[in-house]
Amino acid sequence: MKNLIILGSGGHSKVVGETAAENPKINEIAYLDDKFITKKNFQKNSLDNKIIGKIDDICKTSIRNKYKLGFVAIGDNLLRKSLLGKLIDLGYNCPNLINSKATVSPTARINSGTAIFANAVIQAEVKIGLGTIINTNAIIDHETLIAEYTHICPGVNIAGQVKIGSNCFVGIGSSIIQNIKIGNNVIIGAGSLVINDIPSNSKVYG
């Protein structure tokens, strides 16, 4: 069993923390967050886990020696990318955190630092990039490719053979039909139906 340090202690981190707590290979869980640390004593979050310092404390020898696992629980894609890169450079092992109620095909390929939450379904030969979030009740159908640091929000339905680029945000309840290609840095508004390809650096809704 190994100890896990989680970067960020906001709302998203609560879901990450509950998912991590299910993992029998994880022992102690603690948090680093610039907003919540006090100098006099440790604070705790709703899961009774300690917030033990600021995010830059991942560089401290005492933290690195005690916590061999690291995870970024921050929704902002670019910030998550930056911090996950730092964890990897510092030698932390960045696991995938997959909720016990998620369904993941044995042929799916999921890169490090990815969160997959309750009732998500990942079908055959799906590929998911580094540091991605597959949120509650999202469905990713066969052979879909999702690049790194993308956030698939709750209730999103993605059909087969879709390609989604890096640093994308697919809003809650959206649907994407089969064979669609979506570029990098795309924001798709909540409840959207995507029936055409979307170029990089676009914001779409409806």
Summarize pLDDT for 49-60 with one digit per residue, the tens: 689 999 999 999
Average pLDDT over residues 74-98: 97
Catalytic residue selected from 44, 64, 66, 142: 142
Instruction: Kindly list the distances between the CA atom of residue 70 and the CA atoms of 55, 86, 134, 184, in Å, as whole numbers in the listed order.
Output: 11, 10, 18, 26
Average pLDDT over residues 112-141: 98
Average pLDDT over residues 151-165: 98
What local confidence, expressed as pLDDT, does residue 50 receive?
84
Q: Quick one: pLDDT band at residue 35, thresholds 50, 70, 90?
A: confident
What local confidence, expressed as pLDDT, does residue 48 receive?
57
Instruction: Report the chain's mean pLDDT, rounded to a whole number.
Output: 94
Q: Residue 37: pLDDT above 70? A: no
Strand bridging mode 43-44 / 50-53: antiparallel
Give the total residue count for the chain: 206
The answer to whether residue 142 is catalytic is yes
Yes or no: say if 146 and 126 are a contact pair by the CB < 8 Å rule: yes
pTM: 0.93
